[in-house]
Chains A and B, each alone.
Chain A
Amino acid sequence: MASEDKKPKAACFDGEAARSLVKELRGTFDAGKTKSYEWRVSQLKSLLKLTKDHEDDIIDALRSDLSKPVLEAFVSEIAMLKSSCEFTLKQLKRWMVPEKVKTSITTFPSSAEIVPEPLGIVLVISAWNYPFLLSLDPVIGAIAAGNAVVLKPSEIAPATSSLLAKLLGEYMDSSAVKVIEGAVPETSALLEQKWDKIFYTGNGKVGSIVLAAAAKHLTPVSLELGGKCPVIVDSNINLITTARRIIAGKWGMNNGQACISADHIITTKDFAPKLIDALKVELVKFYGNDPLASEDLSRIVSSNHFARVTKLLDDDKVSGKIVHGGQKDQSNLKIAPTILLDVPEDSLIMNEEIFGPLLPIVTVDNLEDSFNIINSGEKPLAAYLFTNNKKLKEAFVRNVSAGGLLINDVALHITNPYLPFGGVGESGIGSYHGRFSFDTFTHKKAVLYRSFTGDASARYPPYTLGKLRLLKALLSGNILGIIRALLGW
């Protein structure tokens, strides 16, 4: 047996490797390579080209990792990424321009501006459910802001991870943009290094670990986490449209495995049966009578997650509440769209983010009660309301705290590049998309220009009562007061 003589396939990425990676990137950044507009544009264009040239490969990788339906892969990952890239390319020049700001009489004469500058070297840790989009969309922001980037794709979506490593290696400036594949050991090695910014998409438990590691180096962090995104459904709505939008926002999003997918529904006792019927009808239209065989539904990503989701149904008190679906195919990691009605409040399914194709419906007497229910839990990444009642909409917007709110639809708000996308509380820190991506990877440097003239001696010792009077007037910006003080009144 010659196994002892065999060299390891690839050197494992350890602390030493991480240190030299960071050193190399710092060298690139310090040399100023990533700061020019031209460099940023060329890299963004390369990202766009990579996406266009390899659309089929990306779709194949997503099918391999998640059995993602082709159109879903296109719509929710490829098209979103291209759109984000194009939007950034169009706006970048404007974003890079320093912002002139007003100055007051207190600092007269002076001029001031805010200059955006890159943070330096950035670490992007991506998730497995939209492995293409959630890897490259933050990278777009990092590059647009002029940083050097390391991307750590999720190992739970291995086909996409290696495709990204291969394609970015081919298309991007590898002295400044790198992909490091791997799992916990590699991520830990990376987290020990000093980064100028860390952008993490994933769950709260790991988010906490990332934040703690960043604290050692005082590194600012963005955390895009999740939560139990509730959907409140009123009775005075267009039922069919509502049902379709809920389905699109639950099972149409990676079969419920999305941070902003509808986690559960809250509706009135009276309306629940009607809603369930409408959902059933539309579900059959969308996925046929045998949803486990439908090509238009993603599978569960891994056997670990399959076990996690099925465990939520383990409880008799829960499984007894299934009103639709419940079928499973373990060998193909498929679970059919499943609806449950009035599961016990303390059950696991009502206390953990489901991240799967189970949709519990909770009933209340009054819809307004739902606001308190939502606010008593952890703040979710998104909250949804279906209603035509203007007062209810206003109360919802005013009282429900979440990363973002969407009325009369599900998930769509993330496609709008003019709205910040991010969480609050347990659903995350920071936001991105559009200009917010640029900002999240930028330091906005304050700059004040003064001249040698206009020196108020009141600032300096020896301190006197007269100076005190003048300072009071100067700081209050009160011109009359300043004149009086100057005249000694």
Chain B
Amino acid sequence: MEAEEGLRLGRSVAELRETFRSGRTRGVAWRKSQLRAILKLVDDHEDAIFEALHQDLGKHPVEVYRDEIGVVKKSATNSLSCVEKWMAPKKGQLPLLFFPARGEVLPEPLGLVLIFVPWNFPIALALDPLMGAISAGNTVVVKPSELAPACSSFLANTLPLYLDSKAVKVIEGGTDISQQLLQQKWDKIFFTGSTRVGRIVMSEAAKHLTPVTLELGGKCPIILDTLSDPSEIKVAAKRIAGGKWGPCSGQACIAIDYLLVEQKFASTMIEFLKKTISRFYGENPKNLKNLSRIVNKHQFERLRNILEDPSIAASIIHGGSLDEKNLTIEPTILLNPPLDADIMTEEIFGPLLPIITLTNIQESIEFINSRPKPLAIYAFTKNDSFKKKILAETSSGSVTFNDTMIQFVCDSLPFGGVGQSGFGRYHGKYSFDTFSHEKAVLHRSFFLDLEPRYPPWNDFKMQFIRFAYMFDYLRIVLLLLGYKLKKIFSPGHLA
């Protein structure tokens, strides 16, 4: 059974290589047709997508549109209008010495691309990287997550109806299929997921010297400076709640993981947060509205274990109730749980928000720096010098001031991690670049062949080359005119 699977996979990959070699995916017409097809697919099947995401994660259609469909459509539209520009060679500057010559950088597709999709944004994080790979002219295999089965089937059944199935394939399956895929030789692997699996993917890729992009996660902190204006505190509370429980109930790589605030401001903020939670999600923990559920029992148990740990349970100040049947967990706030507990050492990836109080908000910088670099840092502050300090002294994939999550829809900003949160980036033109090879091309002419390039070597040639490297054209001309210039070179080295 496994051998059969392996053979089928090998055949699919061989077919994709053949397609790439034929050159079909290179032309701009093909790329645009595929991007348009994705746009049409999403338009035609909006309801089916809502349904699939409701099944897999209990997402509300508005959440689906905001986080997945809308993002994909925006990205497709942007790619369609820009792809030709992105494909154009970039003219390079050339020092005069190279004259006559022409230099440029020409982007070309890498070839065969493998995209691993995570379960939390199973449509967007499949289609968005796919569009990047297509706009760069590659053939692609998309491997959706088996933990979001309705979306996986949707992609497997629908993509072939809209896209060139000799160039884009969806291969469903679990860990064993992923492992088999990793045995093949790819020209690029794009992985979104956990650090644990990221390591495995990179190790396998190393065998074939395959470049990878790893979009991982981390504990994304929010630094909350003390605010005095109640309208601003209200906005902050909305954005914090929206950035914690809004995206897939906290199961997102850029979701707020924990919050840092000064002791004196904490209780005010907590009150605002509680009010916001009840406004957003309702008062009844048994009937929470507008909130995704936990993806599966395994993750639910993981979060339950965290909450039931006595040292953590003691710090719960809001929420904490679990609905095993529906796999939902109430938006939960904790105050100062022990820093060495799992909740503060592992990425939470769930609807639990630890609040850590500090004497002075400036301490947040050291707090963050003593932990692995996260994908995003959020900071709510009006203090410009504090903003500069945060930028200069912390490191993360991105920093967003006075809002949460929204950097994701800013196409002109690269989206990616650093350190444990990953490497490589995408969105907008960065998607095109991440699936391209930038080929340097230099055109020279036969005209003007410089003698001094060639042996046998002598003093004259040495002088010439010295001046050439300094781009000292005046001296070169003088030298050529026969002027005897002061000998810089020490005797004895050249006979």
Contacts and interface: CB of A to CB of B under 8 A. Distances in A.
B376 to A, nearest CB: 9
B443 interface: yes
A114 B397 CA distance: 11
Interface string B447-491: 001000111110001100110011000000000000000000010
B419 A196 contact: yes
Contacts of B86: none
Contacts of B456: 285-288, 296
Contact of B211 (A204, A429, A467): A429
Given A212-B206, A468-B65, A476-B73, A218 B216 contact: yes
Contact of A107 (B73, B401, B409): B409
B33 interface: no
Interface string A437-474: 00000011111111110010001111110011001100
Nearest to A207: B209
B221 interface: no
A463 B207 contact: no
Interface in B167-209: 187, 195, 198-199, 202-203, 205-207, 209
Contacts of A444: 414, 425
Given A106-B74, A215-B203, A244-B449, A419 B397 contact: no
B51 interface: no
Given A208-B206, A296-B456, A450-B406, A405 B440 contact: yes
A181 to B, nearest CB: 26
A426 B207 CA distance: 11
Interface stretch (A150-158, A324-332, A340-348, A408-416): A408-416
A204 B70 contact: no
Interface string B57-89: 000111101100011011001000000000000
Given A82-B469, A455-B238, A405 B71 contact: no
Contact of A119 (B108, B392, B403, B418): B418
Contacts of B70: 471-472, 475-476
Interface residues of B, number: 109
Contacts of B316: none
A404 B441 contact: yes
Contact of A112 (B199, B205, B413, B425): B413
Interface in B202-261: 202-203, 205-207, 209, 211, 214, 216, 229, 231-232, 235-236, 238-239, 241-242, 246
B6 interface: no
B138 interface: no
B444 A404 contact: no
A424 interface: yes
Contacts of B145: none
A75 B406 contact: no
Contacts of A56: 490, 493
Secondary structure at the A interface, as helix, strand, loop or mixed, is mixed
B442 A404 contact: yes
A70 B444 contact: no
A445 B397 contact: yes
Contacts of A215: 199, 202-203, 205-206
A375 B187 CA distance: 14
A104 B106 contact: no
Interface in A384-404: 388, 393, 397, 401-404
Given A405-B439, A429-B211, A449-B402, A468 B61 contact: yes
B401 A450 contact: yes
B455 A70 contact: no
B439 A404 contact: yes
Given A115-B391, A212-B206, A461-B281, A419 B92 contact: yes
A310 interface: no
A247 B456 CA distance: 12
Interface in A104-160: 104, 106-107, 110, 112, 114-115, 117, 119-120
A101 B407 CA distance: 12
A79 B242 contact: no
A104 B428 CA distance: 12
Interface string A178-212: 00000000000000000010000000100111011
A360 interface: no
A248 interface: yes
A460 B437 contact: no
Most buried by A among B199, B437, B442: B442
Interface in A238-284: 238, 241-242, 244-245, 247-248, 252
Given A247-B454, A444-B414, A413 B74 contact: no
B154 interface: no
A477 interface: yes
B398 A218 contact: no
A460 B103 contact: no
Contact of A445 (B206, B239, B393, B395): B395
Contact of B199 (A216, A420, A429): A216
Contacts of B400: 447-448, 450
Interface string B96-114: 0010000101101011000
Interface in B393-438: 393, 395-403, 406-407, 409-415, 418-420, 422-425, 437-438
Contacts of B387: 449
B61 A424 contact: no
Given A114-B414, A429-B209, A460 B457 contact: no
B444 A407 contact: yes
B110 A79 contact: no
Interface string B110-146: 1100000000000000000000000000000000000
A270 B264 CA distance: 87
A446 B74 contact: no
Contacts of B437: 401, 424
A75 B470 CA distance: 12
Given A56-B490, A445-B399, A460 B440 contact: no
B310 interface: no
B386 interface: no
12 contacts: A56-B493, A71-B494, A83-B470, A110-B406, A212-B207, A244-B453, A248-B453, A418-B93, A420-B438, A460-B280, A472-B70, A476-B74
5 closest residue pairs by CB, A with B? A463-B62, A461-B290, A211-B206, A475-B70, A215-B202
Interface of B: 21, 60-63, 65-66, 70-71, 73-74, 77, 92-95, 98, 103, 105-106, 108, 110-111, 187, 195, 198-199, 202-203, 205-207, 209, 211, 214, 216, 229, 231-232, 235-236, 238-239, 241-242, 246, 279-282, 289-291, 369, 387, 391-393, 395-403, 406-407, 409-415, 418-420, 422-425, 437-446, 449, 453-457, 461-462, 465-466, 469-470, 490, 493-495
